[in-house]
């Protein structure tokens, strides 16, 4: 019976031995997924804070427009000749460079 207890005691891994792979996976997940996304969001926030009237922007819904006026929490954006809408700052996904077009995926 004593030899059976010794074999069972050796087969059970310690708590630290089980935690190392989990911690390693969490570390890899952080550096591969979370950190790059945080960097990208910080860059987007910087672009939004630097927006000025006359710049072209792309909305989250796919609209493209030209900023007419900047307010505290919103922008007045012209999406067609004479059509001005007020949008939230968070709706802007990126600023377009002069002459830049959006490429669409072929169906």
Domain ranges of the chain: 2-46, 52-96
Nearest by Cα to 65 from 50, 54, 73, 74: 54
**Segment 46-71 mean pLDDT:** 89
Q: What is the pLDDT of residues 12-51, one digit of tens each?
A: 556 677 888 899 999 999 989 999 999 999 998 898 888 8
Most distant CA pair in the chain, distance: 90
Spacing of C-alpha 103 from chain mean position: 20
Q: Which fold has domain 52-96?
A: SH3 type barrels. (2.30.30)
Q: Please name the residue that has the structure tokens 């004593």.
A: 2
* pLDDT surpassing 70 at residue 90: yes
Write out the two tokens for 8: 């069972």
pLDDT value of position 32: 92
**Segment 82-104 mean pLDDT:** 84
Residue 70, strand partner residues = 75
Nearest by Cα to 96 from 45, 61, 47, 49: 47
* pLDDT surpassing 90 at residue 94: no
Global pTM?
Answer: 0.61
Higher pLDDT, 18 or 86: 86
**Segment 81-104 mean pLDDT:** 84
């Amino acid at each position: 019976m004593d030899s059976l207890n010794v074999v069972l005691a050796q087969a059970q891994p310690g708590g630290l031995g089980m935690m190392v792979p989990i911690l390693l996976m969490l570390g890899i997940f952080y550096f591969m997924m979370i950190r790059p996304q945080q960097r990208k969001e910080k860059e987007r926030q910087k672009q939004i804070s630097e927006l000025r009237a006359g710049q072209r922007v792309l909305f989250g819904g796919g609209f493209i427009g030209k900023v007419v006026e900047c307010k505290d929490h919103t922008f007045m954006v012209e999406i067609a000749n004479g059509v001005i809408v007020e949008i939230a700052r968070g709706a802007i996904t990126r600023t377009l460079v002069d002459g830049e077009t959006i490429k669409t995926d072929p169906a």
